[in-house]
Amino acid sequence: MLLLIFIPTTIAFGRHHFRNLTTSVGTDCTCKPCVQKAQRFKRRRGQFYLKPTFLVTLILLGGGWYTIIQLSTTVHASPQLQIWDPFRLLNVSTFSSTTQIKRQYKRKSLKFHPNKRPKNVTKEEAEGLFIDIMKAYKA
């Protein structure tokens, strides 16, 4: 929805101001009044870009595009739905025998037992993993 507003607005804004920058005031004539008129025109054109209305429009366009970029990155960065897979928890294939599953369960349960956990794992994390491993084995 925002793209439908900001794409045409940005194109119109850019075209208008690019034309103003590239147009020149009849520099063919070198008489004093024409040269003064060209200088006044250039001075006014430079002052226009310092007016609050131009700056506010520029800030609003920039803020709108920033919002569009932020929204598009958060939509793509949303977490995927994880399906609970007991075979993945035990690091075995779906075609493993019951002895292989039992062996992996014993290894994992000894490794992540809350009283015999690795040094870099907290007790709460070890308890959570231990419960997940038990559920995976029973499934």
Q: What is the pLDDT of residue 119?
A: 76
Average pLDDT rounded to a whole number, residues 96-124 = 81
Average pLDDT rounded to a whole number, residues 46-71 = 86
Question: In terms of domains, do 90 and 65 share one?
Answer: no
Range of the domain at 109: 86-138
Does residue 55 lie within any of the structural domains?
Answer: yes
pLDDT at residue 26 greater than cutoff 60 = no
Average pLDDT rounded to a whole number, residues 129-136 = 84
Measured CA distances, 14 to 28, 52, 100 (Å)? 27, 17, 67
Does residue 58 lie within any of the structural domains?
Answer: yes
pLDDT at residue 92 greater than cutoff 60 = yes
Total of domains in the chain? 2
- Say what percent of the chain tops pLDDT 90: 5
What does pTM read for this prediction? Answer: 0.42
Nearest Cα neighbor of 129 from 115, 112, 104 is 112
Question: In terms of domains, do 96 and 118 share one?
Answer: yes
Question: In terms of domains, do 132 and 93 share one?
Answer: yes
Question: In terms of domains, do 72 and 34 share one?
Answer: yes
